[in-house]
Amino acid sequence: MPGPGWNRGRGRRRKLRKIGFLPQVRHFYPAIPPVFPPKPPIMMTYEEFEALRLVDYEGLTQEEAGERMGVSRGTVWRALSSARKKVAQMLVEGRELIILPQGNEVPRTGEE
């Protein structure tokens, strides 16, 4: 029998991700409707968006981005790789992109 405080879920709990910028526009779609039936939209998390913004837009290193987000460099690398793939897929395939919270993000207050 598990004792008090035993994590009943699988694996560790996800760390909170500090998000410094909540996107005002969260839905992108092709200007010209597709000729064929549209493929399902691509879903991007705030975590992936923030990693892409910090590294590609602000020019931070992955380590600096990890410090700002409160996660490891490896976590930033995984989120960044996923975000880049999703953006490329959106552009090449002409698919919708929707940016959604995952539930483990917190707005970052001030410069920490």
pLDDT by residue (tens digit) across 82-101?
Answer: 999 999 999 999 899 999 98
Scanning the structure block, which residue is given the tokens 């992109």?
97
pLDDT, mean of residues 54-81:
96
Is 83 part of any domain? yes
Q: Is residue 10 part of a domain?
A: no
For residue 4, what is the DSSP state? T
Q: Tell me, yes or no, whether 22 lies in a domain.
A: no
Q: What mean pLDDT is predicted for residues 32-37?
A: 77
Q: Where are the alpha helices (DSSP H) in the chain?
A: 46-52, 62-69, 73-93
Orientation of helix 62-69 relative to helix 73-93, angle to 10° = 100
In a domain, 24, yes or no: no
Is residue 51 a contact partner of residue 65, using CB atoms and an 8 Å limit? Answer: yes
User: What's the CATH number where 64 sits?
Assistant: 1.10.10
Mean pLDDT, the chain, whole residue set: 85
Q: Count of CB atoms within 10 A of residue 97's CB?
A: 19
Overall domain count for the chain: 1
* Within-domain flag for 85: yes
- Structure token pair of residue 98: 């929707």
Residue 61 lies in a domain: yes
Structural domain that includes position 44: 40-100
In a domain, 53, yes or no: yes
Q: What SS3 state is found at 107? A: strand
pLDDT bin (cut points 50, 70, 90) of residue 51 is very high
Cβ-based neighbours of 21, under 8 Å, separated by 6 or more = 50, 53
- The pLDDT assigned to 20 comes to 83
pLDDT in the model for residue 85: 98
Is 94 part of a structural domain of the chain? yes
